[in-house]
Structure 1
């Protein structure tokens, strides 16, 4: 029994290693194909890597680039968005996503925010929630260090300074934890999708007999609010809502 277990473990490691080697080879071949102008062949290789269960920002990004070169704008936007989910601070992905979005038909303006909500969104949006979590950890270490200085110093003035500084650091840590948790919770419970249909009729109710609210075209990003049978309730960045067939979109 023990020998069989060892054999299974060894085989699984060998299988995982061979898969990794195969993915690296496919990626290298895809890069050569892309550089030679064979964007369809490159895209096929990247899709094979994804089908094998290997997911990374670089694969999504390069696949998006290949689709962009093929003028398949909905697909390129979809995979740029997928790449951003794994590398939210990558400026190259953001720049190429802007280029792809400029080729879409629908010009949807984000609802402008004012006052405190605008400041809060801009402030918290400076970093990804993973970065805010790292900031919280840094403040935790800092507060512990400051408290040690407070505990071991003999001067009452210095003790007071380090004690206040440690309290401020703890407050900053709690503040960063809150922002990190809010960002994580929002990313988990907020669903987005890309329109893949050339033209999609957004209805006022989840049936084809209802009144048409507006039209959307391929490449547009929407937020999915709920699903009812074969219909998706969506919302745009400008606040408009409606229902469209689920086959017209692909969720991120």
Structure 2
């Protein structure tokens, strides 16, 4: 996706305060500032675009590269994750991702507990493919049932049978699509952005610290209460940490 395309898509889908021309100008100015190694100005420009709804893959990638140049590892990984989630890919993103991960202090070891069956199924299937499969079979089935009304008596049986077959065939993909939506809404991933994030046994300041993690580590947010969130590390270790220390992808 080109930078201009990302901006136009964001204009249609996002709630922006800039016109496409203003956003493109700001994007170019931020790029020029980055090339001049004026990372503060580049960061300010990209952050303005993101805060006003222009969060395309290219903008998140450039923002992540700027954070990385400034040594802000947590926000660099966060932006690269958001770029990937927005459809970004390619050798540049992979290379900077690898560079950022190599700088992380935390090397989490241990085996994570097995994911629930539903999450494993969702992780093994493509959400877009499932959505198209459901939409396609449902529309074809509905079209055959609609055709039933225009056929003469005695010639309707095949339309009913085919319509029923396609509608029944849409049920598994529909259920899987619902599972994708449910997991997407309930499974929250985040990145540690605090210089040192202390995870406690309970969501209280006086609770014992169980472990510490550092910028750039990807975690899962399990639940929240007050100013604390319960995070789970990739190896399954859990603890309560301050909400401001992590940012959701």
TM range, normalised to the smaller chain? 0.7 to 0.9
1:91 paired residue number: 89
Deviations 1:100-135 (A, max 9, x none): 2332122236626499779735532xx23x442223
Go from structure 1 to structure 2 and tell me whether the alpha carbon gap of 1:238 and 1:18 turns closer, same or farther (over 3 Å shift). Answer: closer
CA distance in 2, matches of 1:215, 1:71: 20
2:72 paired residue number: 72
Work out which of the residue numbers 139, 142, 145 in structure 2 matches 1:141: 139
The worse-fitting range, judged by mean Cα deviation, of 236-245 and 206-215 is 206-215
SS of residue paired to 1:219: coil
Report the structure, 1 or 2, having the larger helix content. Answer: 1
Query: Do the aligned residues in 1 keep the contact of 2:73 with 2:193 (CA within 8 Å)?
Result: no
Normalized against structure 2, the TM-score is what?
A: 0.73
The worse-fitting range, judged by mean Cα deviation, of 215-224 and 134-143 is 134-143
Normalized against structure 1, the TM-score is what?
A: 0.72
Stretches (4+) displaced over 4 A: 112-119, 144-152, 165-168
CA distance in 1, matches of 2:170, 2:120: 20
Go from structure 1 to structure 2 and tell me whether the alpha carbon gap of 1:182 and 1:105 turns closer, same or farther (over 3 Å shift). Answer: same
Deviation at 1:222, TM superposition (A): 1.8
Q: Which runs of 5+ in 2 are unaligned?
A: 1-15
Q: Number of paired residues?
A: 229
Deviations 1:25-68 (A, max 9, x none): 01122223334444333222111222334332322222112222
Task: Give the root-mean-square deviation of aligned CA atoms.
Answer: 3.6
The worse-fitting range, judged by mean Cα deviation, of 229-238 and 96-105 is 96-105
Deviation at 1:146, TM superposition (A): 7.0
